[in-house]
Homo-oligomer: A and B are copies of this chain.
Amino acid sequence: VGKITMVEMNRRFKADWLREYCSAILEKLALSRDDGMTVADNLVEADLRGVDSHGVTRLAVYAERLEAGLVNPRPQIKIASKSPTAVLMDGDNGPGAVVGLKAMEEAIKRAKQYGIAWVGVNNSNHFGAASYYVMRAVEEKCIGLAITNAPPTMPPWGGKSPFFGTNPFAVAIPAGAERPIVLDMATSVTARGKIILAAKAGETIPLGMAIDSEGRPTTDPQAALAGAVLPFGGHKGYGISLLVDILTGLLTGATYAPNVGGLYNNPNGIQNLGHGFAVISIDAFLPFPGFIDRMDHLIREVRNAPRAAGTERIYLPGEIEFELRDKNLAEGIALSPHTARELKTLGMRLGVSWPFGH
């Protein structure tokens, strides 16, 4: 009786250190130094932007699948078509971030030469946050799009069982003095992870987020987990999710809904995800300096638009994430005790030292 529970505090980790640590683990799992840094950077960037769900918390399952031989640590990524601007790439079952970054670089190169390019990828794996790739396009004065299919979680509109993935898409557009606009969204109302959290906390979820196993709207997170997550915006989100699956899975010869392999709880199957990366070279249309002036102007007009009662501030897509990134770069990334322990255990097992007390 009278047991005292220690509340574990989130500890903050410097991004550079975290990147090196994760990369060292990935090297132990047979990735090259460069590829290990790419995967690690992809995860750490998500944490920096406050998208913890796509951050270093994913390293454990990445490691598990590499160790099980379900992901190829040394892929021979190949271009499998001859078209100049619509390019099929075979990811050779490599780590998603490695394949994805290579595909985006190829799309940028070809867009600079021809104006616009699309690289479709098959035979790939979970690629982390889609925003990672489109930010590369922005650095090259281009507009970038990144999409991927994903394991089934959402029904078609009117259905009741998981069929489509949350099939996210990201688009980034450069600005001048202002920060780029970065739209990165799942095509579901919410992440399944948030429903799991509500179930653990004994809370209800808002109507419209999920359905039970009979397809009825529910506020009970347990019933929702036995049912399915709903697409955002009703039938419109369903249409967009379907479109993403067609442009990633169907068009590339990868698997597609509802047959996409899971990242978790799938110890015997590969994922064979499909991705798509598109790049538009802005100066094919307008001189770049004029375009970014126009972007700055638009961004300021949106920010200063008349606000609804109760709204403190109008945000541009990506703005919150840029502010979190500044803070996390300066102060370090706050990892939950669970995630920190998971990283430590993984490092200990693979011979990468964890230079902290716990």
Q: Which residues of A contact B (CB under 8 A)?
A: 81, 83-88, 111, 114-118, 120, 143, 155-161, 163, 171, 173, 181, 183, 185, 211, 214-216, 232-234, 236-240, 242-243, 245-247, 250-253, 256-258, 278, 280-282, 284-286, 291, 294-295, 298, 301-302, 305-311, 313-317
Contact = CB atoms under 8 A, between A and B. Distances in A.
**Most chain B CB neighbours (cut-off 10 Å) among A211, A214, A236, A308:** A308
A239 B305 contact: no
Contacts of A256: 294, 298
Nearest to A252: B285
**Most chain B CB neighbours (cut-off 10 Å) among A88, A159, A291:** A159
Contact of A281 (B83, B117, B156, B159): B83
Contacts of A245: 298
A280 B311 contact: no
Nearest to A299: B242
A236 B168 CA distance: 12
A235 to B, nearest CB: 8
Given A86-B280, A291-B251, A298-B246, A156 B118 contact: no
Given A158-B308, A159-B307, 8 more contacts: A86-B111, A155-B308, A158-B311, A214-B309, A215-B311, A246-B295, A250-B295, A257-B298
